[in-house]
Amino acid sequence: MTIYLLRHGETIWNRDRRLQGQRDTPLTLRGTHQAVAMGQRLARVLGGRRPGAMLSSPLGRAYQTAALVADEIGVDPDRIVLEHLVIETSFGAWDGLNMEEILEQYPHEWAERRADRWHRAPPGGESHAEVAERAGRFLAAMPDQRPLVIVAHGSFNRILRGLWRGLDGLASLALDEPQDGFYRLDSERRECFIPAGAAPREDAGSS
Amino acid sequence: MSTTIYLARHGETTWNRAGRLQGRSDSPLTVRGVRQAQAMGTALRVVLGSTDHQVWASPIGRTRQTVAILCDTIGYPYHAVRFDDRLVEITLGDRDGYAGWRELARDYPQEAEQRRRDPWNFRHPNGESSQMVQDRVRPLLESWSAEGGHHVVVTHGVVSKILRGLHLGLDRMQTYALDRPQDAVHRLHRDGIDIIRVERSGR
């Protein structure tokens, strides 16, 4: 089973350094270029073949990215399946805030979360443990069509990759969230970063 | 102080390309649509120069996407965009998202006949008529005219036609006959309307 896991391109709030969570802002100009570049790279990686299926988180930024990638890889955008289980982590009351605002308005909750990053949820939001639970449900029930292309999010994707590679929770939180390339998850439970511009480099097992 | 309005339609979306009727439903920009938005921004950056301007947009996804790209290209802060519900596209109500006009006429021949007889006042079930759209955009046009200055407005095909029809004092048939390009910007001013064709890098 091969999965190509993409994060959406840069958005207005990414650039403003605001947490988006399950709120949404559109792609910036740079974000659209990133989406097209990832799509072009993916087209080359697929050797001009279409993927077995293409899934997208239902949030605007992911679906916008998926539509642009679909154009580059020759998939009819109406065939993109919206998958709720891969929606971004909800940060609850912190969705839409920047770090300064969070520290100012929720110093106590922030400290509590730092003390137990994996299990502690932001107020009204999801803990990483809860996200891992739904990511696990997604993996257990995902379509069998190969390869699978998934367009999702920074926080969610780290957790999915951690599960795939068998990392413990905190190790998965240390993974990166690139927008200038994407990951191939292969049947050996390895991941391989594919930059939108150059040759792939590999990472196997637990780091 | 006189008013200049730069009227832009959103870039091509996946449903535009498929011929589907969007109305108030939404679909994302295609690669071509992104390039169109960028080209419109590049053209606007030139014509606006260093004049003060305000950017307005419909809050639907495809216009948000277009205005985000436009803002980056003209150097305008996205958070200063005035999103206004009065700029949303005409809704076909229950028919928003339909496969196309042909399919609509095939499946609802009586509605198609009513529409043919009086297109201006016709509304699909739970939809809007052109008259209703004109009623909601007229106050916007009037406030821009009263305010003066330069306004960049990112909106939709039918809304754009109706705004231009109002601006020029056209009758209904003349309004319907107007175009809805995605590779041009209309400049509305005291003496009429100019069309600014934009450069579009092809695929």
ipTM over cut 0.90: yes
Q: C-alpha distances in angstroms, A147 versus A5, A52, B161?
A: 11, 5, 45
3-state helix, strand, coil in chain B (%, to 5): 50, 15, 35
> Any idea where the domains of chain B sit in the sequence?
3-197
Could B29 and A67 be called an inter-chain contact, meaning their C-beta atoms sit closer than 8 Å? yes
Contacts of B78 in chain A (CB under 8 A): 12, 25
Could A26 and B27 be called an inter-chain contact, meaning their C-beta atoms sit closer than 8 Å? no
| Segment holding B158, helix H or strand E | helix B157-168
Task: Give the active site residue among B12, B89, B111, B128.
Answer: B89
Task: Give the active site residue among A83, A88, A126, A191.
Answer: A88
Task: Give the active site residue among B10, B124, B156, B167.
Answer: B10
pLDDT at residue A201, as a whole number:
42
Taking the C-alpha atoms of residue B13 and residue B16, their distance in angstroms, rounded to an integer, is 5
Taking the C-alpha atoms of residue B198 and residue A182, their distance in angstroms, rounded to an integer, is 33
Give yes or no for a contact between B23 and B90, defined as CB atoms under 8 angstroms apart.
yes
- Three-class DSSP category at B39: helix
For chain B, 203 residues long, the average pLDDT of each consecutive 10-residue run is 94 97 97 96 94 97 98 97 98 97 96 94 97 97 96 97 96 93 95 87 46
Q: C-alpha distances in angstroms, B19 versus A196, B15, B86, B101?
A: 32, 6, 24, 9
Taking the C-alpha atoms of residue B47 and residue B44, their distance in angstroms, rounded to an integer, is 5
Q: Say what the alpha-carbon torsion angle A75, A77, A82, A88 is, to the nearest 10 degrees.
A: 90
CA distance B136 to chain A (A): 26
Q: Higher pLDDT residue, B69 or A202?
A: B69
Class of the domain covering B3-197: alpha beta
CA distance A18 to chain B (A): 13
Who among B14, B38, B68 is closest to A77 (CB)? B14
Whether residue A199 has pLDDT greater than 50: no
pLDDT at residue B1, as a whole number:
74
Q: Per DSSP, what are the bridge partners of residue A3?
A: A148, A185
Q: Higher pLDDT residue, A144 or A86?
A: A86
Taking the C-alpha atoms of residue A137 and residue B31, their distance in angstroms, rounded to an integer, is 33
pTM of this structure: 0.93
Contacts of B68 in chain A (CB under 8 A): 12, 25-29
Convert chain A into a string of H (helix), E (strand) and C (coil): CCEEEEECCCEHHHHCCECCCCCCCCECHHHHHHHHHHHHHHHHHCCCCCCCEEEECCCHHHHHHHHHHHHHHCCCHHHCEECHHHCCCCCHHHCCCEHHHHHHHCHHHHHHHHHCCCCCCCCCCCCHHHHHHHHHHHHHHCCCCCCEEEEECHHHHHHHHHHHHCCCHHHHHCCCCCCCEEEEECCCCCEEEEECCCCCEEECCCC
CA distance A3 to chain B (A): 23
Mean per-residue pLDDT of chain A: 94
Could A77 and B27 be called an inter-chain contact, meaning their C-beta atoms sit closer than 8 Å? yes
Give yes or no for a contact between A128 and A173, defined as CB atoms under 8 angstroms apart.
yes
Is B156 an annotated catalytic residue? no
- Chain B residue with minimum CA distance to A66: B28
Could A68 and B30 be called an inter-chain contact, meaning their C-beta atoms sit closer than 8 Å? yes
Give yes or no for a contact between A200 and A192, defined as CB atoms under 8 angstroms apart.
yes
Does B22 contact chain A (CB < 8 Å)? no
CB atoms within 10 A of CB A59: 24
pLDDT tens-digit readout, A117-139: 999 999 999 999 999 999 999 99
- Domains of chain A plus CATH, in order, are 3-203 (3.40.50.1240)
